[in-house]
Amino acid sequence: EDQVTQSPEALRLQEGESSSLNCSYTVSGLRGLFWYRQDPGKGPEFLFTLYSAGEEKEKERLKATLTKKESFLHITAPKPEDSATYLCVLQGGSEKLVFGKGTKLTVNP
């Protein structure tokens, strides 16, 4: 069974304090690993898709990386507007999306 585990559950940072969010996974036939951002009361917003180990994607202060067992979302010099819940989502051979429980990030000014 495909599984996704995100850590930590919650993370508090000061503005400008860089950190990383972790997503550990087990999958049969990886088709894609996705990162989404979700703000309270809204649907998830697509950030990145990673397809194979070694791949990296960047967008503004965010950088996603992928290994055969983990994905990291690195946040460089975060701002308060980066506060949100970040979701790691896995798609394996069954094509069903499997969601992690998310990491709630709070960035204090």
Partner 1 sequence: KAGVTQTPRYLIKTRGQQVTLSCSPISGHRSVSWYQQTPGQGLQFLFEYFSETQRNKGNFPGRFSGRQFSNSRSEMNVSTLELGDSALYLCASSLTEAAYGYTFGSGTRLTVV
Taken as a whole, the chain contains a residue count of 109
Stretch that binds partner 1, among 19-27, 53-61, 70-78, 93-101 (CB under 8 A): 93-101
Return the closest-CA partner of residue 51 out of 61, 63, 36, 64: 64
Could you give the C-alpha distances from 89 to 16, 36, 71, 78, 109, in angstroms and in order?
Answer: 27, 8, 10, 22, 29
Round to the nearest angstrom and report the end-to-end CA distance of the chain.
Answer: 41
* Interface with partner 1, residue 43, by CB under 8 A: yes
Q: Is the bond preceding residue 8 a cis peptide, omega within 30 degrees?
A: yes
Stretch that binds partner 1, among 14-22, 43-51, 53-61, 66-74 (CB under 8 A): 43-51
Stretch that binds partner 1, among 10-18, 63-71, 72-80, 83-91 (CB under 8 A): 83-91
Choice from 21, 23, 50, 102 touching partner 1 (CB under 8 A): 102
* Interface with partner 1, residue 96, by CB under 8 A: yes
User: Footprint of partner 1 on this chain (CB under 8 A)?
Assistant: 31-32, 34, 36, 41-46, 49, 87, 89, 91, 94-102
